[in-house]
Amino acid sequence: MKNHSRKTYSLINLPALLCNYNQIDNLTPNSKTIAVIKANAYGHGAVEVAQYLSKHVPAFGVALIDEAIELREAGITLPILIMEGALSREDFSTALQQNFWLMLHTTQQVEWLTSSFPNYVGKLWLKMDTGMNRLGIKPDEIKNILTKLTAQQLEEIVLCTHFSSSDELNNPKTQLQIQEFDRINQIFGLKKSLANSAGILHWPESHGDYNRLGLALYGSNPTPVEKLAVTLTPVMTLQSTIISLRQLSEGESVGYGEMWQAKRPTIIATIAIGYADGYPRNAKNGTPVFINGNIAPLAGRVSMDMLTVDVTDISDVKLGDSVELWGENLAVETVAEYLDTVNYELLTRVSNRVTRIYRS
């Protein structure tokens, strides 16, 4: 049994997860909303998230076939979309046995399919590259790919693409990608999927037969826009405790490299979380944490197991007090801005050393 004496937790609010899903799904009544739970459900625990959502969603999306197999072994029976598709010829056999939906995004994957599994009856998705230039078949090659598939495969296939800049609402790139997608699909009339979280929330013309809901499912905003059509509730609260308090005189430093020096008599609180737990080492002085209803700034370099904050201006701070690194009271987006990163990275990098506690 895991010892919880350190009291460094990732608190996962499962009802908030479902609330976020329902609100966003209601924005697209003519679409099916796939819950994307790749990367261990963005750090929230893929098995637990899938178990909670299984009665409410049509399918799940993951990146890798190994992630899908983990869900099957945990008893998840819903269809699972493998967004990186087959990485070996044998993956087609596994997908057929396990009811995985495979993405086709390279000519090699199509060759594996047509040469080894010409009568494959599993559901297929075909990714078209409309400008992300990462994965996908180029638009002028789509017709040739489709001619290699059987009538049954074509009947169910979903044509999809991925946006490069949908979080930038003034960037014309997303509209250009939608137009290119529509130009091609007007020829073939296939089922379609374009929208990620930002697409669902801000680009209604991208809503398709299937939408792929990722970051916003977990209550985190995929765009800088503060006012949304829905009210997102953070699902993860990263929490730890104060394990030391000490007085510093003016001019004294704290932590490795003397990166911070006191400009006044200062009270420093040491918190039981560090970069081995997933809190980034490159966090700047001044990065906020939430203690006893107040914001306290990071002071000094984050170490492997601990970080230090200036609590001089917070009254009644004591050993054992709870500290929120992000979550219900401190948006992960706010912390990400101080760290010159994105909310996606912070959520997914929380390590397995941090105990997840699920609230249902």
**Positions marked catalytic:** 38, 256
CA–CA distance, 181 with 192 (Å, rounded to integer): 9
Q: Which of 315, 313, 311 is nearest to 300 (CA)?
A: 311
> Residue 263 in 3-state DSSP?
coil
Kindly report the CA angle at 99 between 96 and 105, in degrees rounded to 5? 70
- Establish whether 304 is an annotated binding residue: yes
User: Scanning the structure block, which residue is given the tokens 């997860």?
Assistant: 17
Q: Tokens for 246?
A: 């000490």
Across 60-162, the runs of DSSP E, i.e. the strands, are 60-62, 80-82, 100-104, 124-127, 158-160
CA–CA distance, 198 with 168 (Å, rounded to integer): 9
Q: Which of 146, 150, 127 is nearest to 138 (CA)?
A: 127
> Residue 247 in 3-state DSSP?
strand
Name the region of 219 (left: φ>0; alpha: ψ -120 to 50; beta: rest): left
Q: Which residues are known binding-site members?
A: 134, 304
Q: Which residues are known binding-site members for substrate?
A: 134, 304
